[in-house]
Amino acid sequence: MPALTSIRTSEGKLEIVNQLLLPHTVEFIEVSSIADAYDAIKSMKIRGAPAIASLAALAVADYLTQNLQRTSGPEWLGSVEAFKEHVNVVLSYLFTARPTAVNLGAATRRLSKKLQASIDAGKDPRAIAQDLIAEAKEIDAEDVGRNKEMSKHGGEWLIERVKSQGGSGESLNVMTVCNTGSLATSGYGTALGLITYLHETGKLQRAFFTQSTPYHQGSRLTAFELQSLNIPSTMLCDSMVGSLFQHHNIHAIAVGADRIARNGDTANKIGTYNAAVLAARHNIPFIVVAPVSTVDLDVADGSGIPIEHRPAIEACLVRGALYPTALDANGVKQQATVMVTPEGLEGVYNPSFDVTPASLITAIVTEKGVAVKKEGEDVFDLTPIV
């Protein structure tokens, strides 16, 4: 199976894999406008904090390229003031697509900063647009390299941690939550990248992953990625984490992050906090793996992280392939959405994320290294890794 990817660009076309149809149908859809990018992020056709940041950046680059190539350029390319106002509106619009994932904000702020720097350098609108296009492409391109760096940092830290406690550092079992691989990033992944690194270096025995309801990012996407990488793995329902820890030797939990506060409190896929509480009860290291861009030093602690709540109906529905398998006229697996709750259910609690306090986190890993708490402290000093 070819390497999975969330975004691809070729011959001036920007496309994403529609993750709502995975794993049964691999369909790439074109993102040809800023509105398309906003919809893809908002509707979760693409998800994962690094991936949505890359898509937003590439959509801006594509949008500017299209307008530079027009024989009769738009009015906002006519002056620096009009250009600045228009681009800032575009960036602000994209930023509102999903509020919890700080990477999206980091990408739009980075482009806004480049916009102002190019203006301050006295450049004309077309030259400024070229600068923004180059910066946007760099935001996407640098993701894979940093993912491999943080995965190695985290993997080596875990091996040494196990050895320090009398273990061999071999045959490690690691559990993860949600999906943090190539489908959530521009490639390789964060927490799933750590698992991949352990597999590639012969240190992994088995990966365990939760279904991660109600969107089933684990059972749909992580399962798909682990299969494609031939990594031995076991799926479990979200409510089975405690049982797993009771009956299996789990060496660590590795999760990604959508936003990390200055003190180390971490917002991630709903269910992460549950896993962290159980990990603490069983003395299992809990590792957060995320790029520097996910760390929000402007937010002191988890209470300042906005938590997105999804529509109630999403928690009442499940989508998947028909079973037994049925193919349509084109040989594609037929899929269906079914309601698993009584119709008209009035009370539904459906946050996308929860916040795991720093006190429950053993280590936070970025491409710059690994941070652990000082003896006797419940919060992190993230300065060395940002």
Residues with a known catalytic role:
258
Q: Which amino acid is at 264?
A: G
Give residue 297's region: left, alpha or beta (phi > 0; psi -120 to 50).
alpha
Q: Tokens 């990018």 sit at which residue?
A: 37
Give CA–CA dist 373/375, Å, rounded. 6
User: Is 155:198 a contact under the CB 8 Å cutoff?
Assistant: yes
| Residue 157 burial (CB count, 10 A) | 20
DSSP labels, 169-215: S-SEEEEE-S--STTTSSSS-SHHHHHHHHHHTT-EEEEEEE--TTT
The burial of 2, by beta-carbon neighbours within 10 Å (0-12 exposed, 13-18 middle, 19 or more buried), is given as exposed
The strand pair at 295-296 and 259-261 is best described as parallel
- Name the nearest CA neighbour of 293 among 101, 88, 98: 101
Residues with Cβ within 8 Å of 165's Cβ and at least 6 positions away in sequence, in order, are none
